[in-house]
Amino acid sequence: MKIFETHAHLDFEEFDKDRSKLLKDCFNSGVEKIINIGVGKQSSINSIKLAEKYPQIYAAIGFHPSEINDYDEDFLIENLANKKVIAIGEIGLDYYRMHFSKKEQQEIFSKQVDLALKFDKPIIIHDRDAHEDCYKILKDRKAKNVVFHCFSGDENFAEKVLSENWYISFTGVITFKNSKMDNIIRMVPKNKFFIETDSPYLSPTPNRGKRNSPMNLRYIINKIAEVKQVTPKMVADISYGNAENFFLKNLKK
Ligand SMILES: [Zn+2]
């Protein structure tokens, strides 16, 4: 079984003590590709460093809505030229934490969407309690290659996202007892989803509360398999192919 981890923060200090051993364990257990996600300038730099060190790792760079204070467009433009920088993210709107006003968040989000379109990079969306505004900004700009990371909308919003031909990504949240995500899992076509851990956060059941790592992807795979009534291997293979086509297609040009 080969697995594509589409969203992790393995540069975070939670992994400082055992990063190289953990990565070795991941690669040995079938996690063949990992996208490490930036949330601001320093973590984007660290993501690129990891991607340059490991052939299996790719980087996404961007400014998360809680970290827009050091927004640096020149930094993004410079580094988007790096072959291992394969997406802009995570970017979006967070109306749950509100470190910045809606207007400020929307302004920086819009700028980054424009950049992604200009450089033909996929966009990894962080959307917390801001579904409609995220949708509008993306729709107004005719964004094409979009994934809603850790999808948290309802069935109606999933339908809207899917009708734009955008993607939905599942984290360990789908394994939580109260997640209410089974219907979304059922309705997502097999060519429209990815899997991700968002490590070190969102550890799936039965490891909830502990540090998360790509080693836990199998719980997410098993949950999707159970709901969609297919084998775990099918879920891993299909999501691997989806992620490869979506994130790595420019590498083949
Ligand atoms: Zn994340």
Give domain limits for the chain: 3-252
* Predicted confidence (pLDDT) per residue in 202-244, tens digit: 999 999 999 999 999 999 999 999 999 999 999 999 999 999 9
CA of 7 to the centre of ligand 1 (A): 6
pLDDT at 253 over 60: no
- Ligand 1 centroid distance, CA of 8 (Å): 6
Q: Tell me, in angstroms, the distance from the centre of ligand 1 to residue 201's CA.
A: 8
Say what percent of the chain tops pLDDT 70.
99
Q: How many residues does the chain have?
A: 253
Å from CA of 230 to ligand 1 middle: 28
Residue 206: what are its φ and ψ, rounded to 5°?
-100, 15
Q: Which fold has domain 3-252?
A: TIM Barrel (3.20.20)
Q: What is the 109 CA–ligand 1 centroid distance (Å)?
A: 15
pLDDT, average across residues 41-61: 98
User: Mean pLDDT throughout 19-37?
Assistant: 98
How close is the Cα of 37 to the center of ligand 1, in Å?
Answer: 6
Q: What is the pLDDT of residue 250?
A: 81
Q: What is the pLDDT of residues 155-176, one digit of tens each?
A: 999 999 999 999 999 999 999 9
Q: Does 55 sit behind a cis peptide bond, omega within 30 degrees of 0 on the bond before it? A: no
State the average pLDDT over residues 46-55.
98
Which amino acid, residue 42?
Answer: Q
For CA atoms 39, 118, 160, 100, the dihedral sign is positive
Neighbouring residues of the ion ligand 1, judged by CB less than 5 Å: 198
pLDDT attached to residue 214: 98
User: Is-contact 212 200, C-beta < 8 A?
Assistant: yes
pLDDT at 251 over 90: no
The single-letter code of the amino acid at 217 is: L
Helix 73-80 vs helix 41-53: angle between axes, to the nearest 10 degrees? 10
Ligand 1 center to residue 139 CA distance, Å?
A: 22
